[in-house]
């Protein structure tokens, strides 16, 4: 159990607060709202802010009397923390307050190479799967999702359960894209960010903005293991708690708020 003197509690989204690309559950909303009343909370994801708007924000509904306190304490970090969103209480909307982008030249090259790779048909990756673009420009991050974002969890969980396919794809693409960082994300995704960028850097950028240090944060994620997309915070020295999924996360939060 963590020391609750921590100033920021950070959570991964998919696999930690929610199932992959699934809506935030009412039971998770309930405990999370109670936690955010007491602590500053950051939620980080490889997904775009649009994904937060589909998966998280419509279901995160604090009581009216708690809105100012809760929204003032909640920070959203899409695209691995290369963007930061905070709630503007005067405008009553989420506002992007910080970003670290990819150069136009690097972005154009990355998109071109990824589209060529998809067109090659390797690993059964197609142009469009279940209505989604496989290669997605998320402004500060480019993502390649083998089965599309909206594929069923059953299909996602069986495509690359041991990450072997994605590790092989990384080895193919790394020599062609030395100027980007390639991170494994979710069940079927590869995320492409500026060189050296990952979730750890996104969280450390947040700490620096608030003039805090690594010891001020704890991070909760489901993929805190070598090769997992939540492993970089552990490598950076951030205190981490590994969970098996949203059920375990909810139980941990219930203990904290108790």
Tens place of pLDDT per residue across the chain (258 aa): 445 679 999 999 999 999 988 999 999 999 999 999 999 999 999 989 999 999 999 999 898 889 899 999 999 999 999 999 999 988 989 999 999 989 999 999 999 999 999 989 888 886 556 556 889 999 999 999 988 877 788 888 899 999 999 999 999 999 999 999 998 888 899 999 999 899 999 999 999 999 999 999 999 999 998 878 899 999 999 999 999 999 999 999 999 998
- What are the structure tokens assigned to 77, written together? 């970090």
C-alpha dist (Å) from residue 75 to 97, 146, 153, 184? 10, 29, 27, 23
- 8-100+197-257, CATH topology level: Rossmann fold (3.40.50)
- Domain residues of the chain, as ranges? 8-100+197-257, 104-194
Report the C-alpha dihedral over residues 160, 164, 168, 169, rounded to 10 degrees: 20
β-bridge pairing 128-129 and 135-137: unpaired
- 104-194, CATH topology level: 3.30.1240
β-bridge pairing 189-194 and 180-185: antiparallel
Alpha-carbon gap, residue 54 to 132, rounded angstroms: 15
SS3 state of residue 113:
helix
Cβ neighbours for 35, distance < 8 A, ≥ 6 positions apart: 9, 41, 253, 256, 257
End-to-end CA distance of the chain: 13
The residue among 53, 39, 60 whose CA lies nearest residue 85 is 53
The per-residue pLDDT for 4 is 65
Within 13 Å, how many C-alpha atoms sit on residue 148's CB side? 11
Are the C-beta atoms of residues 207 and 7 closer than 8 Å to each other? Answer: no
Are the C-beta atoms of residues 24 and 56 closer than 8 Å to each other? Answer: yes
Q: What is the CA radius of gyration of the chain?
A: 18
């Amino acid at each position: 159990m963590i020391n609750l003197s921590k100033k920021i509690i950070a959570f991964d989204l998919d696999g930690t607060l929610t199932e992959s690309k699934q809506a935030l559950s009412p039971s998770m909303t309930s405990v999370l709202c109670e936690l955010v009343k007491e602590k500053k909370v950051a939620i980080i994801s490889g997904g775009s802010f649009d994904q937060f708007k589909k998966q998280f924000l419509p279901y995160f509904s604090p009581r009216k009397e708690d809105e100012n306190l809760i929204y003032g304490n909640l920070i959203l970090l899409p695209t691995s923390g290369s963007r930061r969103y905070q709630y503007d209480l005067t405008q009553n909307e989420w506002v992007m307050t910080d970003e670290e982008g990819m150069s136009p030249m690097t972005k154009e090259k990355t998109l071109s190479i990824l589209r060529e790779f998809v067109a090659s048909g390797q690993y059964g990756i197609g142009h469009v799967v279940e209505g989604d673009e496989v290669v997605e420009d998320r402004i500060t991050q480019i993502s390649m999702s083998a089965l599309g974002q909206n594929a069923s969890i059953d299909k996602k969980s069986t495509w690359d359960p041991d990450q072997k396919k994605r590790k092989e794809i990384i080895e193919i693409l790394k020599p062609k894209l030395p100027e980007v960082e390639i991170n494994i994300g979710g069940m079927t995704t590869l995320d492409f960010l500026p060189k050296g960028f990952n979730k750890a850097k996104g969280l450390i950028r947040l700490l620096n903005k608030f003039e805090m240090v690594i010891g001020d944060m704890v991070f909760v994620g489901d993929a805190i293991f070598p090769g997992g997309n939540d492993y970089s915070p552990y490598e950076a020295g951030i205190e981490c708690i590994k969970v098996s999924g949203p059920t375990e996360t909810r139980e941990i939060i219930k203990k904290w708020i108790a």
